[in-house]
Structure 1
Amino acid sequence: MLIADQKKPFDDPNYIYELKFDGIRCLAYLESDKVDLRNKRNKEITSLFPELNEIYLQVNSRCILDGEIVVIKNNKPDFFEVQKRTIMTNPFKIKLQADRLPAAFVAYDIIFLDNELLIDKGLEERKTLINKTVHENERIAISKVFENNGIVLFNLTKAQGLEGVVAKRKGSKYFFGKESKDWIKFKVLEDQDYVVCGYIQKPNNMTSIVIGQYNNKKELIYKGHVTLGSSLRILNQHEYKVINYSPFSDPVHTGNENAVWLEPELVCIVEYMPSNKEGLRQPVFKGIRTDKTANECIEK
């Protein structure tokens, strides 16, 4: 189930509120003797997080949990650290990283329990069941629920430099793979997914990437630049193909004369300050996504 709406913080007795975790969305299939972790694209990622291999011991029965894999660094979830795991392949290096900065699974919904699919049960009933089923430890936690004070909770997350809040309508059902307006996010910073279309190495040794999104005609539209950093290290951790032409439907854009164009296949997350003006205000490159295809990056 996906979030369909983003709004300004509000208080409403018809909603509950939870922290929005800066991690990787994941379904955890917990059997009596094993764990199977799947990302949004149903890719198995269990081997990337060996420290989570025994969280099945923390549940009463076979179940499927919806939640987030997070890595805590400097007392807050760090998206870059958890995303870095998704591109690692060497088991020894994965183990070293797991020992250095172990991940945890934060469960906020339960959609299957004791051979029963729970998606038609109301949100509060599912919350009751998850609390009866999961026994927390340092590797698995249950997302805490707050009543009424959505604005206060949002302001606290903002003060602590956290990602935001999710409001969930009481009594709402769970819809597989669908965007639902029953879940609403309050973001400290807005973000969107963009196609990586090229990069530009600047005289000050900094590198920026050229980004785009598809419109409803399936044309790739230029959306600007975002600073990547002082090297191509992050980009080089992924496979990409250099091409000799602009991939945009309208290829004429000032400032891109020195761009190295790429096959539009990689997807990145960009955070920015909310603004009524055209373009991105203070955009920040947040990372490469491996659970989304370029064709899914549609302009809003």
Structure 2
Amino acid sequence: MALLRRSLPPDQQEYGWELKWDGVRAVAYVQGGSVRLMSRNDKDITRSYPELAALARMLRRPAILDGEIVALRGGRPSFATLQSRMHVQRPGARLVRAVPVQYYLFDLLHLGEESLLSRPYTERRDRLDELGVDRPPVRVPPWWRGEGETVSSVGLAQGLEGVVGKPLASPYLPGRRGPWIKVKNVRHQEVVVAGWLPGAGRRVDTVGSLVLGVHDDGLRYAGSVGTGFTEADLRDLAARLAPLARDEEPFDPPAPRDVARRARWVRPTLVGEVAFAEWTPDGVLRHPSWRGLRPDKRPEDVHREEPAR
């Protein structure tokens, strides 16, 4: 996984740079004419994306690959569009046609009996290019050697999420954060849903906002989000939150009194993601906007992303 940085490093010439794609990370295991897709929290998501079975027909040897599943809107990856596929375990043909996905590959971990984990980034990328799998629904996006500023500018101009930098000689380290880095154009934060506040007006009988937390020696209050929801989002959230209701507040230390007296607490098992402006000095998200649920993430893995200085 990549470590968040505030800006490009001074030694950016020592990195390979890729555009950051706004989707769902997935590792693909290809063997015996079939594909198995595993999410970052080790969930089998193969059935959710049946069109990606095409990858098995492109490869003659068993392989393990890493990449991002994306859905496009207006030619750019759209996390909001992907939401309609992320929660469906067996999508029908109509949904697959309406919201097709692509698999953007950026690493090759094993090929045949050979492990490439210890090989440098540049070699793994060369070997990935040699596979010849850059055709729909699979893509192998380009990378650039030591051109971080240029790649970042291109990503910003195209409205993309940011860039990822990988030291040219770096191995692949499963389960580790770093030495890969990411520099974002837009700030996003994974959050745990700890409760909800009733709405007003048309939303008086349903979810008005979600009460959010992040893990830091226990679940800590991180604010609430009441914007970015569609009507479908609100109906889905109400259905998911109802069976999770509990009386006890899950935060330690407790949430602010004005929040706690109105909150409807739930078991903190749902993970979502917000866009936001900044963290306040007391650890609350400023101007958050809901992006959607993240079934590919575990609640205990949700921590405040602190950019390295």
Q: Could you state the TM-score of these two structures normalised by the residue count of structure 1?
A: 0.90
CA contact (8 A) 1:7 1:184 kept: no
Q: What is residue 97 of structure 1 aligned with on the other side?
A: 95
- Which of 199, 202, 205 aligns to 1:202? It is 199
Distance 1:94 1:81 in 2: 16
- Alpha-carbon distance in 1 for matches of 2:188, 2:276: 6
Cα deviation, residue 273, structure 1: 2.4
For 2:269, which of 242, 265, 268 is the aligned residue? 265
- The structure with the largest helix share of the pair is 2
Mark the CA change 1:296 to 1:237 in structure 2 (over 3 Å): closer, same or farther: same
Partner of 1:235: 237
Gap regions ≥5 residues in structure 1: none
How far apart are 1:214 and its partner, in Å? Answer: 2.2
**Alpha carbons 2:280, 2:286 under 8 Å: kept:** no
Q: Percent identity?
A: 28
Unpaired stretches in structure 2, ≥5 consecutive residues: none
**Where does residue 109 of structure 1 map in the other structure?**
107
> Closer, same or farther in 2 for the Cα pair 1:200/1:230, shift >3 Å?
farther
Match of 2:220 in 1: 221
Matched residues in 2 for 1:163 and 1:179: separation? 19
Q: Secondary structure at the match of 2:84?
A: helix
Other-structure match for 1:253: 256
Amino acid of the structure 2 residue aligned with 1:289: R
Shift in Å at residue 97 of structure 1? 1.4
**Deviation for aligned residue 1:258:** 2.3
Which 10-residue stretch deviates more, 243-252 or 145-154?
Answer: 243-252
Aligned match of 2:247: 244
CA 1:178–1:161: 2 relative to 1, 3 Å: same
Contact 2:105–2:138 (CA under 8 A) maintained in structure 1:
yes
Question: Runs of 4+ in structure 1 displaced over 6 angstroms?
Answer: none
Number of the residue aligned with 1:174: 172
- Cα offset for 1:275? 5.8
- Counterparts of 1:93-172 in structure 2, within 5 Å, are 93-172=91-170
Q: Tell me, in whole angstroms, the C-alpha distance in 2 between the residues paired with 1:214 and 1:50.
A: 34
Cα RMSD (Å) of the superposition? Answer: 2.1
Amino acid at match of 2:220: I
**Secondary structure of 1:53 counterpart:** helix
Cα offset for 1:135?
2.3
What is the DSSP-based 3-state SS (H/G/I as helix, E as strand, rest coil) of the residue aligned with 1:266?
Answer: strand
Structure 2 match to 1:298: 303
User: Any idea what the Cα deviations from partners look like across 1:242-284, whole Å, max 9, x if unmatched?
Assistant: 1123222233514323222111111111221246754323212
1:121-169, Cα deviation, whole Å (9 max, x unpaired): 1111111100111321120011210233212221222222211100110
CA deviations on 1:168-226 (whole Å, 9 max, x unpaired) are 1001001111112x21101011222211011112324452110012222xx22111111
Distance 2:238 2:51 in 1: 27
* Equivalent pair of 1:87/1:238 in contact (CA under 8 Å): no
1:193 to 190, 194, 197: 190
Name the TM-score, length of structure 2 as normaliser.
0.88
Match of 2:77 in 1: 77
Structure 1: distance between partners of 2:33 and 2:16: 33
1:259/1:174 CA distance change after superposition, 3 Å: same
**Aligned twin of 2:212:** 211
Instruction: Give the distance between the partners of 1:234 and 1:158, measured in 2 at CA.
Output: 32
Counterpart of 1:227, as a letter, is G
User: Residue 273 of structure 1 contacts residue 281 of structure 1 at CA under 8 Å; is this kept in 2?
Assistant: yes
> Residues 29 and 296 from structure 1, CA distance in 2 versus in 1: closer, same or farther, beyond 3 angstroms?
same
> Offset at 1:107?
0.5
